[in-house]
Amino acid sequence: MTKVEAIKKVLEDNGGIATWEIIYNEIERYYPMAKASMEWQAGIRGVLYREIKNQRNFKKVDESTYSLVDYDERKLLLHPKDAVTSKDILTAIRVGQNAFRKRLLLALIKCPVTNIDDERVLTASHIKPWTMATNLERLDLYNGFLFSPTIDRLFDRGIISFTNDRLLIISPTFSLQNVERLGLRPNQYIKNLPVWGRESYLEYHRTKIFLHKGV
């Protein structure tokens, strides 16, 4: 099986769409040598970008999210009839995410890791990404955390995750020096992390998004 075929299989397994993190985590299932070189991530990106440039097999849906070329992007919308062009679709997604953020701000108030509570900088972070979720999951407040920008980025990119016991998990792809610079610790207990009701979403994040061993 080629890398193109392996990427296609990963996308098919996930409903025709996947984030980079899912592709990285699952490609070895179909292409066992995918991570044989030091620059394996760049190799996978190069294959996917080439196919997109040549208008074959794949297309970019959003930042770090890609799909099969025939994927119906209207599946990403709460109200598909409201959008026609790709720009319409992205705008509709942003509107939906902003509404989600407003509700999450009222429910959670602050970042549980940094304790920052200034809503001007807080980010509503979906645990199961919007592009991978159903409409019910996209609006479910239990599918979200409020994070300060750096923590949000780490979580979104699968560099950190959390156990159901509120322990911080840090990906082995992230250097210990950078962990220390951020003032984080592996297995750090995050006392204020609102886990209750979010267990199944966290399981998805740990399994599909978090960059685990072997990456």
End-to-end CA distance of the chain: 20
pTM of the model as a whole: 0.90
Backbone dihedral angles phi then psi of residue 149, each to the nearest 5 degrees: -55, -45
Q: List, for residues 145-156, the tens digit of each pLDDT value.
A: 999 999 999 999
Other CB atoms within a 10 A radius of the CB of residue 156 amount to 21
Q: List, for residues 19-39, the tens digit of each pLDDT value.
A: 999 999 999 999 999 988 888
- Given a cut of 60, whether residue 164 has pLDDT beyond it is yes
Q: List, for residues 69-81, the tens digit of each pLDDT value.
A: 999 988 888 876 6
Give the per-residue pLDDT at 215.
52
3-state secondary structure 115-140: CCCCCCCCEEEECCCHHHCCHHHHHC
- Given a cut of 70, whether residue 176 has pLDDT beyond it is yes
**Token pair of 178, please?**
């950078």
Spatial CA neighbour of 153 closest among 214, 63, 91, 40: 63
Q: Where are the domains of the chain?
A: 3-71, 75-209
